[in-house]
């Protein structure tokens, strides 16, 4: 399906796209150059702020460890995101269909939403033992559940009165109404929820590693490196976590676009 943008010439659109890609890259390079300048010319000491060159060096030297750490944390986050999203969507569907469930779940969801990861992580880590990743996955799942649930529930309530009237006019069955109107109306909301949850899942999986449990994930290695004064290496792991977060965000954004293609985006 090819969609052409109306009212915009092709070349103008291309220039705009190029600009959109080049502008942030240029800003990024400028910041890096400024940073390097601060460290190597002005002489900010290494433990305060390692130079980009030193961070890149560490990144390359510890590359296999970077990859394995990213995979461990990424897997925890992904598992949490998937399970949290599925639970969120299912519970939202039930809450949308049945008012009492909605009223019962509202305070529970509200309290889940305000649980600080830092509070829960040590508890879960000791609950499931020092060599289990389960605690982190559970925390990522919990963090993902909330935005997915809230957005999905909102999505299920967005059905327009005119669409409801139409379905009644067509004497459509409940299953037909859900399939042709309720679900498609909710889809963009569900995917917005998942996109928000994706960043939260990565952050929670990573932060949960600071509080004990098996090392080897990005969070664990960041704290270990920092504790052993290997600041450049700690920063290199931070770079890896940024990459991981971006991958999650872009993947879910692509999913959202795919699910809402053909509709106007605001």
Partner 1 sequence: MTQVPEPQPTDSSATPTRSADAVVVRGVDKTFDTRSGQVQALTAIGLTVSAGEFVSLIGPSGCGKSTLMRLIADLDQPTAGSVTVFGKTASRARLDQDYGIAFQQAGLLPWRTVAANVGLPLELHGATSRDRNARIEELLDMVGLSDFADRYPDQLSGGMQQRVAIARSLAEKPDLLLMDEPFGALDEMTRERMQTELLRICAETGAAVVFVTHSIPEAVYLSDRVVVMSPRPGRIQQIVPMALTRDPEHAEALREDRAFFDGVTAVREALHTGSPVPTGARGVENR
Taking the complex as a whole, how short is the minimal distance between the CB of residue 14 and partner 1, in angstroms? Answer: 21
Taking the complex as a whole, how short is the minimal distance between the CB of residue 157 and partner 1, in angstroms? Answer: 17
Taking the complex as a whole, how short is the minimal distance between the CB of residue 173 and partner 1, in angstroms? Answer: 9
Taking the complex as a whole, how short is the minimal distance between the CB of residue 166 and partner 1, in angstroms? Answer: 6
Put residue 50 in one of left, alpha, beta given phi > 0 → left and psi -120 to 50 → alpha. Answer: beta
Taking the complex as a whole, how short is the minimal distance between the CB of residue 135 and partner 1, in angstroms? Answer: 40
Q: Do 196 and 150 meet the contact criterion of CB atoms below 8 Å apart?
A: no
Q: Which of 64, 72, 22 is nearest to 214 (CA)?
A: 72
Q: Which is nearer to partner 1, 215 or 257 (CB)?
A: 257
Q: Which is nearer to partner 1, 6 or 43 (CB)?
A: 6
Q: Which is nearer to partner 1, 37 or 170 (CB)?
A: 170
Q: Do 206 and 218 meet the contact criterion of CB atoms below 8 Å apart?
A: yes
The Cα 154–Cα 114 span in angstroms is 19
Q: Do 214 and 132 meet the contact criterion of CB atoms below 8 Å apart?
A: yes
Q: Which is nearer to partner 1, 42 or 169 (CB)?
A: 169
Taking the complex as a whole, how short is the minimal distance between the CB of residue 137 and partner 1, in angstroms? Answer: 34
Q: Which is nearer to partner 1, 32 or 187 (CB)?
A: 187
Put residue 116 in one of left, alpha, beta given phi > 0 → left and psi -120 to 50 → alpha. Answer: beta
In whole angstroms, how far apart are CA 93 and each of 85, 151, 153, 186, 234? 12, 11, 7, 10, 43
Interacting residue ranges for partner 1, rule: CB under 8 A: 6, 160, 162-163, 165-166, 168-172, 176, 180-181, 184, 187, 260, 262-264
Q: Which is nearer to partner 1, 116 or 262 (CB)?
A: 262
In whole angstroms, how far apart are CA 32 and each of 26, 39, 51, 179? 10, 11, 9, 51
């Amino acid at each position: 399906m090819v969609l052409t943008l109306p009212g915009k010439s092709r070349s103008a659109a291309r220039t705009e796209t190029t600009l959109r890609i080049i502008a942030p890259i240029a800003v990024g390079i400028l910041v890096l150059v400024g940073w390097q300048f601060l460290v190597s010319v002005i002489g900010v000491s290494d433990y305060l702020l390692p130079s980009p060159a030193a961070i890149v060096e560490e990144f390359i030297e510890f590359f296999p460890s970077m990859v394995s750490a990213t995979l461990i944390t990424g897997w925890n986050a992904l598992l949490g995101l998937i399970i949290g999203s599925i639970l969120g969507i299912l519970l939202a569907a039930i809450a949308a269909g049945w008012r009492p469930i909605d009223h019962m779940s509202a305070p529970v969801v509200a309290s889940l939403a305000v649980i600080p990861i830092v509070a829960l992580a040590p508890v879960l880590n000791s609950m499931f033992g020092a060599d289990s990743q389960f605690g982190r996955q559970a925390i990522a799942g919990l963090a993902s559940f909330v935005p997915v649930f809230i957005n999905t529930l909102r999505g299920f309530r967005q059905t327009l009165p005119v669409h409801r009237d139409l379905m009644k006019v067509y004497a459509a069955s409940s299953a037909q109404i859900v399939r042709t109107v309720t679900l498609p109306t909710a889809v963009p909301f569900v995917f917005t929820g998942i996109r928000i949850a994706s960043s939260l899942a990565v952050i929670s999986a990573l932060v949960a590693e600071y509080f004990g449990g098996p090392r080897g994930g990005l969070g664990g290695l960041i704290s270990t490196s920092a504790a052993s004064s290997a600041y450049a290496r700690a920063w290199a792991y931070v770079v890896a976590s940024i990459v991981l977060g971006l991958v999650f965000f872009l993947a879910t954004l692509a999913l959202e676009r795919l699910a809402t293609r053909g509709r106007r985006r605001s």
